[in-house]
Amino acid sequence: MRTGLNRGLAEMLKGGVIMDVVNAEQALIAEAAGAVAVMALERVPADIRKQGGVARMSDPELIIAIKEAVSIPVMAKVRIGHFVEAQILEALRIDFIDESEVLTPADDQYHIDKHRFTIPFVCGARNLGEALRRIGEGAAMVRTKGEAGTGNVVEAVRHMRAVQSEMRRVMLAPDEELMTIAKELGAPFPLVQEVKKLGALPVVNFAAGGIATPADAALMMQLGCDGVFVGSGIFKSADPARRAAAIVQATTHFKDAERLAHISRGLGEAMPGLEIAGLTATYAQRGH
Partner 1 sequence: MRVGVLALQGAVREHLRAVKRLGHTGVEVRLPEQLEGLDAIILPGGESTAMRRLLDKVGLLLPLKEFVLSKLTLGTCAGAILLAKRIEPSLEAPVLGVLDVTIERNAYGSQLDSFTCRGDVAGLPDFPLVFIRAPRFAALGPNVSVLASCNGQIVGVRAGHTWALSFHPELTEDLRLHEMFLRPE
Q: What are phi and psi of 255, to 5 degrees?
A: -100, 0
Using the rule CB under 8 A, give the single segment among 8-16, 145-153, 172-180, 185-193 that binds partner 1. Answer: 8-16
* Strand residue runs (E) in the chain: 17-21, 37-40, 74-79, 96-100, 121-125, 141-144, 204-206, 228-230
14 is catalytic: no
Draw the binding track, 206-245, toward partner 1 (x: CB under 8 A; -: no contact): ---------------------------------------x
Shortest distance, position 120 Cβ to partner 1, whole Å: 6
Torsion angle (degrees, nearest 10) of CA 255, 130, 39, 240: -40
Draw the binding track, 58-97, toward partner 1 (x: CB under 8 A; -: no contact): -------------xxxx---------------x--xxxx-
252 near partner 1 (CB under 8 A): yes
270: CB partners within 8 A, 6+ apart: 151, 212, 213, 233, 237, 238, 243
102 near partner 1 (CB under 8 A): no
Q: Which is nearer to partner 1, 6 or 152 (CB)?
A: 6
280 near partner 1 (CB under 8 A): no
32 near partner 1 (CB under 8 A): yes
4 near partner 1 (CB under 8 A): yes
261 near partner 1 (CB under 8 A): no
Q: Which is nearer to partner 1, 9 or 276 (CB)?
A: 9
CA-wise closest residue to 202 among 134, 288, 110: 134
Q: Which is nearer to partner 1, 109 or 118 (CB)?
A: 118
38 near partner 1 (CB under 8 A): no
Q: Which is nearer to partner 1, 15 or 136 (CB)?
A: 15
Shortest distance, position 263 Cβ to partner 1, whole Å: 9
Q: What are phi and psi of 6, to 5 degrees?
A: -75, -40
C-beta separation of 15 from 54 below 8 A: no
Question: What residue type is 82 in one-letter code?
Answer: H
**Which residue from 20, 31, 99, 166 is in contact with partner 1, where contact means CB under 8 A?**
31
- Residue 52: count other Cβ atoms within 10 Å of its Cβ: 11
118 near partner 1 (CB under 8 A): yes
Q: What is the DSSP letter of 102?
A: T
CA dihedral sign, ordered 199, 205, 211, 216: positive
Using the rule CB under 8 A, give the single segment among 12-20, 47-55, 144-152, 156-164 that binds partner 1. Answer: 12-20
Q: Is 207 helix (H, G, I), strand (E, B) or coil?
A: strand
Taking CA atoms, 205 is separated from 34, 201, 213, in Å, by: 20, 8, 19
141 near partner 1 (CB under 8 A): no
Query: Rounded distance, CA 243 to CA 249, Å?
Result: 10
Catalytic positions, written as ranges: 77
The residues that touch partner 1, with contacts defined as CB under 8 A, are 1, 4-6, 8-9, 11-16, 31-37, 71-74, 90, 93-96, 118-120, 245, 248-249, 251-253, 256, 259
